[in-house]
Amino acid sequence: MRALGVIFIVLGLANASALLGNKGRHHSSRGDEEIYMTTAQIIVNRGYPVELHYIETSDGYLLEAQRIPYGKNSGPAPNKPVVFLQHGLLSSSADWIIGHTESALGYLLADAGYDVWLGAVRGNTYGRNHTTLSPDNDSSFWDFSFDQIGQYDVPANLRYILAYTNQATLSYVGHSQGTLTFYIAMETNPDLNEKVNMMFALAPITTVAHMRSPLRLIAPYADNLEVIANLLGIDEFLPSSDFFDLMGQEECQVNSTSIIVCESILFLICGPDVSELDPALISLIVSHTPAGTSVQNLLHYAQEYNYAYYAHYDFGTLGNINNYGQETPPLYNAGKVTAPMITFWGDNDWLADPVDVAWAESQFPNLRESVHIAHFNHLDFLWAIHVKELVNDVILANMPIKPTQP
């Protein structure tokens, strides 16, 4: 019965969009207006310019990237050094700009004179389009995991941005899944290693064998979940919806009596760190995250935990033979990631466990520095009270290409 309970809770979350409605439908007019804004609208609301770019992957997915071409303290100029920011699992580009304006990385980089690009991936809020497939009507739209995000989405973003800006290289900042998909991109598209002048890995992920988050409790039921999800036609997991907007609006405000519940949920999933959580940001975090992914992507993480490896998706023996020409999924080789890298990690991170981070760091041939912030959890690298001093200022100081004018 415990197994069935876990399975149906997860499947209920996966199907939440059908029950609760998608973002963009009816919602309250009260409360923080940025709860209901898109990433681009929030950027404009903070007083920064924004451009929207639609990037097509080689397998037909259409991704919306947002560009902040200059900042308040740095006007328009040609040939600004380019920085690409890639969000994590169940997140979106909003991660980089919903923090306080004076400390959020997207704004800091723009004000320092960088050309800032915010990436999207297939299946999230800004990646629900395809040249031939519909996310609502075609199950095959959701036939992907971080394998495809790394092999196709990240390279498509990087190649488009380099071509559009006419720059030879760029800097890359990834958080969580945004690090994992970078590693896959560099291995499957090896020419890109020379086009990344520095990679900053926040809460880096390869294997999750030592994950401490309660999400690991789902892992033993991965095979059952896959079978039931297929039978029920459930392909999408935790899309952005009015339910999460309402949570941010009504339950997670600073003056709400239930804000402690919102805090506890974040700590339970990502690790504790009461001293760094800013209650003023919780409503925005909850309303913009989760932003959706495929059930298959979630199951891939479960496989990584179950088998303690860093490998392609496991389709089962016959599926693996059809897809890979062998009975087991091939392992990834982190040693092929030759781009220069700086990692940032914390002891309280229940998703990117320090043991797993240490293993990954031992594989990278061009690791320049490992930044240990002992008390940080998984989300602190985005929104901690001291994220500017401990993370973002370090990133700025280590950018290999400095703007000619701020």
Residues labelled catalytic: 176, 349, 378
Strands 236-237 and 293-294: antiparallel
Token pair of 393 as six digits: 């200022």
Nearest to 391 by CA among 169, 108, 196, 183: 108
Beta strands in 69-217 (DSSP E): 82-86, 115-118, 129-130, 170-175, 196-202
Nearest to 66 by CA among 150, 157, 134: 157
The residue length of the chain stands at: 406
Nearest to 36 by CA among 281, 248, 255: 248
Q: How many CB atoms lie within 10 A of CB 400?
A: 11
Beta strands in 122-169 (DSSP E): 129-130
Which residues are registered as beta bridge partners of 266?
Answer: none
DSSP string, 328-379: SPPBP-GGG--S-EEEEE-TT-SSS-HHHHHHHHHH-TTEEEEEE-TT--TT
Q: In this structure, is the dihedral angle defined by the CA atoms of residues 264, 270, 276 and 277, taken in order, positive or negative?
A: negative
Alpha-carbon span 382 to 394, nearest angstrom: 13
Cβ contacts of residue 400 below 8 Å, gap of 6+?
Answer: 171, 197, 198, 340
